[in-house]
Amino acid sequence: MNLAEMSLVDLFGTLMGFFFTLCVFSYVFGDNILFRIAIYVFVGVSAGYAAVITWYSVILPQLIRPILGGPQTERLLALIPLLLSVLLLFKLSNKMSAIGNLPVAFMVGVGAAAAIGGGVLGTLIPQMNASINMFDGQAAAQGGGSWLGMVGEGSVVLFGTITTLVYFHFGARRIPGKPPRRLAVIEILGWVGQFFIAITLGAIFAGVYAASLIAFIERFNSLLDFFSLFLPK
């Protein structure tokens, strides 16, 4: 596609993409007004998008419609979040902000319960099951793998998990006249756990770096595509 074949909307979107890409890349020279403009627009668009999604996916179908035209049971249940939302507005006033502590406490409690439940059911238990399955010789035979290799891999994972947890064990023995110190075994296992933590953080950093590099290549290609519009074909 060349410049003559583009519609006005496509041309405007391409110019905006080119402009904001240059604004973000201008951060190479330090914080400046162009980079701030790009950040402000990004935050504003994100907030507007979140507001629209919240209205059409949460407030309208789960609050307004049940109150206006739902059964009696749904109307009574919808009054609870409506009441909590009204109480939350009192947080805008310094004198009456204490009234809004109830919905804030409710949100914090629900958020903490969801985070803990997700961490236990979505991370801890599946990781325990995956570690146990590594020592399953029957599963290794069915998968065509070596039971010895699977046990070796599982042992490394189990040893790394144990040493990492030991590293965060801060219990120490109190000896009269000496500063508290952990047992020698705990110190050694914790020292080994540091290597597993370093490897994990290195892998996470490499993943973040690779994702950032992919995003940079995509944006750089968009600049090249923009300049190619003005080249004769």
Cα–Cα dist 151/140, whole Å: 9
Structural domain includes residue 191? yes
* Per-residue model confidence (pLDDT) at position 129: 82
Structural domain includes residue 33? no
Structural domain includes residue 120? no
Query: What domain count does the chain have?
Result: 1
Structural domain includes residue 119? no
Neighbouring residues of 99: CB distance < 8 A, sequence distance ≥ 6? 87, 90
Structural domain includes residue 64? no
Query: How confident is the chain (233 residues) per 10-residue block, as mean pLDDT?
Result: 67 82 86 92 94 91 84 84 87 85 90 91 83 70 67 83 85 70 81 91 93 87 77 65
Structural domain includes residue 8? no
Structural domain includes residue 93? no
pTM score of the predicted model = 0.61
- Print the domain residue range for 190: 134-233
Structural domain includes residue 6? no
